[in-house]
Amino acid sequence: MAAQAVRPSDAAPTPSRWRTVDIVVTAVLGVAFGVVFWAWNLLWAAVGTAFTAFPPGQAFMYGVWLLPAVLAPLVVRKAGAGLFAELIAAIVSALLGSAWGSIVLLYGLLQGLGGEAGYAAFGWRRYGWPQALLSAALAGAMAAALDLFNYYRDWDAGWMTTYTALIVLSTVVIAGVGGMALTRALAASGALSSFASGRTRV
């Protein structure tokens, strides 16, 4: 009987087969983070004047906006979870009133794809530290590229490089390390008992 406690799918989850619980939990994560995004937008705007002399420095705060893209795949372990959660979060933040308008939907889509790529590189079958950190780094790089193209084309190369490096670092720490820590905490609490992430150590 003990041998039946862990099914083969727990060790190698099917990346494309979504259950109802996967859809619901990913959507809930997206909505919750959409509210967080809205609040973070307000904080970003409120402290912006502190970085007037060196605007790229504010990028250390950026990683919060990439958390769903990294966290959702760690929780549900399904292809597309990062894209789904990040896009839902962007939609919710836009509906609540984003200062950046509807362009946040494009950000949600492309940042979600960036985060998804970190897991896609391993066939959506591994969900450990390397995958989470790669996902975070790629999502951060995508966010930086979007910002530099849309808002900061007039910056010099030094500012652009610093901004990109800070966003990637922020995302790796907040979304990568933070996402892994949050997944472990949720698993330890029993909240992920319906998922492979709640039955295997990550």
pLDDT, one tens digit per residue, over 68-112 is: 999 999 999 999 999 999 999 999 999 999 889 999 999 999 999
Whether 25 and 76 have beta carbons less than 8 Å apart is answered as yes
Produce one character per residue of 21-46: b if its CB has 16 or more CB atoms within 10 Å, e if not.
ebeebbeebbbebbebbbebbeebee
Mean pLDDT of the chain: 92
Q: Residue 124: is it exposed, middle or buried by C-beta count within 10 angstroms (0-12/13-18/19+)? A: buried
| pLDDT, position 156 | 97
What is the distance between the alpha carbons of residues 158 and 17, in angstroms, rounded to a whole number?
45
What does each C-alpha distance from 120 to 19, 82, 127, 167 come to in angstroms?
Answer: 19, 11, 10, 22
What is the distance between the alpha carbons of residues 127 and 119, in angstroms, rounded to a whole number?
7
Q: What is the pTM of this model?
A: 0.90
Beta-sheet strands, E only, within 28-82 = none
Q: Coil, strand, or helix at residue 8?
A: helix
Q: Which candidate, 138, 89, 90, places its Cα nearest to that of 117?
A: 138
99 vs 169: which has the higher pLDDT: 169
* Cβ atoms < 10 Å from Cβ of 90: 29
Whether 71 and 182 have beta carbons less than 8 Å apart is answered as yes
| pLDDT, position 3 | 40
| pLDDT, position 6 | 39
What's the mean pLDDT in 174-198?
Answer: 93
What does each C-alpha distance from 180 to 66, 74, 145, 184 come to in angstroms?
Answer: 13, 7, 25, 6
| Third-level CATH fold of 16-192 | Arp2/3 complex 21 kDa subunit ARPC3 (1.10.1760)
